Amino acid sequence: MTTFKEQPLIRTGKLGLAEILEIFTAGSEMPLKFAAYDGSTAGPQDASLGLNLLTPRGTTYLATAPGDLGLARAYVSGDLEPYGVHPGDPYDLLRALAHQLDFRRPPARVLAQIVRSIGIEHLKPIAPPPQEALPRWRRIAEGIRHSRTRDAEAIHHHYDVSNRFYEWVLGPSMTYTCACYPNDDASLEEAQDNKYRLVFEKLRLKPGDRLLDVGCGWGGMVRYAARQGVQTVGVTLSAEQASWARQAIADEGLGDLAEVRHSDYRDVRESEFDAVSSIGLTEHIGVHNYPSYFGFLQSKMRPGALLLNHCITRPDNRSNANAGGFIDRYVFPDGELTGSGRIITEAQDVGLEVVHEENLRHHYAMTLRDWCRNLVEHWDEAVEEVGLPTAKVWGLYMAGSRLGFETNIIQLHQVLAVKLDEKGRDGGLPLRPWWRA
């Protein structure tokens, strides 16, 4: 039920903001309380979850960018305030919104009344929060998509936030990719170590082998392999990641076996690697660049070498590859996702034989749950380090992504492939999977 504290709204025919929300969600049972600065409210008054629209600027953000982008702008700027959840983990609120609210476009006559009630001044776009990246069309105008320069800028936007911030969120492993939980009770650190173990075993690595890890992040896979006696080269476009990884390599005394370079993966000159791992890089490559990407990785492998590609995917191969407004503008500029079928096809089309693939989406939901838990635990330090708006972006992004993995909006696939020799031989791979699950 809608309560109007300012009765003149009814007498003049002007709709309150809460009433407008109810119109757009007609037929849905409001799972939370909504309150607006005009005095109107909607939903159960005793609801444990809710949203407060605090300012007219928030109305402008919501009206000029419908969907997740408008909500994000209003939230990041402080104009839309949730309650009943911690900003480091608003999962419960997002879940209620996603599962119980069904937004519908009202008839034209009602829309006209809504426009009159909101006021034409709120339909004119205003500057977004400074944490937002340029829109896709501006980025295209200022640089070729997935050029080396533009890729470096996109990586900088997301990964060069603050190493200290990432230490609080990711934990001691400094691993910003899906973990693999050996059981429901495993800790995040146990699960991340188990993920590296799984990749290592799938690649059949042994002491004395050479591994190339593209998009190596803070060097987690590089250091894991080096501890097992594998000569490993990692590359990352993030200067902050490379600096942290080099110090970690030095601290562990792994300098004779491990190297992390601040460079584009396409600048790697060595070849004849025994294995290649790509853990969380494909999302940044661009779908149209998959042929050259997989072709390059294949060229770096000796005959019989294995490639492990670990990346977020769509649940089908038909969806638009572009990310949604919030993810594209606040999290992963230029990020693109496609289905696992497309990943497999592109690997096959450069001559690699795919021997195994698996979906770890439930594991990523658990990983994000634990990252949010870390952010909540270190919230005050995180806000001091990166600022409240950026910290809020991360809480929103990780909690929303968790929901996406749980509801099969996105998945996480590992694809394992081998480079055959000129006679079609795979180097003597076992007949059945040789790794522990």
Question: 117 and 231 in one domain?
Answer: no
Residue 284 and residue 379 in one domain? yes
Same domain, 57 and 176: no
Q: What is the pLDDT of residue 66?
A: 75
Residue 257 or 146, more confident: 257
Domain at 355, CATH number: 3.40.50.150
pLDDT higher for 111 or 26? 111
In a domain, 136, yes or no: no
Nearby residues of 245 by Cβ (< 8 Å), 6 or more positions away: 216, 217, 218, 219, 222, 223, 234, 236, 260
Is there a single domain that holds both residue 389 and residue 270?
yes
Q: Answer with the residue of higher pLDDT: 100 or 67.
A: 67
For residue 144, tell me if it sits in a domain: no
Residues 116 and 154 in one domain: no
CB 175 within 8 A of CB 218: yes
Average pLDDT, the chain: 90
Q: Is the pLDDT of residue 105 over 80?
A: no
pLDDT digits (tens, 9 = 90+) for 231-271: 999 999 999 999 999 999 999 999 999 999 999 999 999 99
What was the pLDDT predicted at 4? Answer: 37
- Structure tokens belonging to residue 232: 């490993």
pLDDT, greater one: 11 or 411: 411
Q: CA-CA distance, 180 to 165, in Å (whole number)?
A: 23
Of the candidates 123, 139, 161, which is a domain's last residue?
Answer: 123
Given a cut of 50, whether residue 272 has pLDDT beyond it is yes
Residue 115 has pLDDT above 80, yes or no: yes
The phi, psi pair for 302, rounded to 5°, reads: -80, 160
Mean pLDDT of all residues in 282-309: 97
Q: What is the pLDDT of residue 10?
A: 41
Task: Report percent pLDDT > 70 for the chain.
Answer: 90
Task: Report residue 55's pLDDT band, with 50, 70 and 90 as the boundaries.
Answer: very high
Whether residue 276 is contained in a domain is answered as: yes
* Residue 67, pLDDT score: 80
Is the domain of 117 the same as that of 156?
no
At 337, phi and psi to the nearest 5? -130, 145
Model pLDDT for residues 189-242, shown as the tens digit of each residue: 999 999 999 999 999 999 999 999 999 999 999 999 999 999 999 999 999 999
- Give ∠ CA 6-123-8 in degrees, rounded to 5: 15
Mean pLDDT score, 82-98: 95
More confident residue, 121 or 157: 121
The answer on 171 and 87 residing in a single domain is no
Q: pTM of the predicted model, to two decimals?
A: 0.90
Determine the Cα angle at 149 with ends 148 and 151, to 5°. Answer: 65
Q: Are residues 324 and 386 in the same domain?
A: yes
Same domain as 79, residue 7 = yes
**Which residue in this structure is represented by tokens 């997935």?**
146
Q: Between residues 124 and 293, which one has the greater pLDDT?
A: 293
Question: Which residue range is the domain that position 237 belongs to?
Answer: 149-419
| Residue 71 forms part of a structural domain | yes
- Residue labelled with tokens 């009814």: 10
Banded pLDDT at 23 (limits 50, 70, 90): confident
Cross-strand pairs, 310: 279, 414
Summarised one tens digit per residue, pLDDT across range 149-188 is 545 454 444 455 789 999 999 999 999 999 999 999 999 9
Count Cβ atoms below 10 Å from residue 27 Cβ, excluding itself.
7
Minimum mean pLDDT among 20-24, 55-59, 391-395: which range? 20-24
Q: Residue 29: inside a domain, yes or no?
A: yes
427 and 206 Cβ atoms separated by less than 8 Å: no
For residue 142, pLDDT over 50 is answered with yes
Report the pLDDT value the prediction gives residue 137, as an integer from 0 to 100: 52
Percent of the chain with pLDDT over 90: 72
pLDDT for the residue 29:
72
208, two tokens: 């004395």
Q: Please indicate, yes or no, if residue 16 is contained in any of the structural domains.
A: yes
Number of neighbouring beta carbons within 10 Å of residue 418: 21
Bridge partners of 35?
Answer: 41, 52
330 and 218 assigned to the same domain = yes
- Regarding whether 183 and 108 lie in a shared domain, the answer is no
Q: Whose structure tokens read 């005095």?
A: 39
Q: Is residue 138 part of a domain?
A: no
Q: How many CA atoms lie within 13 A of 38 on its CB side?
A: 24
Q: Is the pLDDT of residue 398 over 90?
A: yes
Q: 5 pLDDT exceeds 60? A: no
pLDDT digit string (tens) for 327-368? 888 888 888 999 999 999 999 999 999 999 999 999 999 999
**Selection from 309, 333, 302, 321 nearest residue 137 by Cα:** 333
Q: Are residues 25 and 157 in the same domain?
A: no
- Domain count within the chain: 2
The reply to whether 428 falls in a domain is no
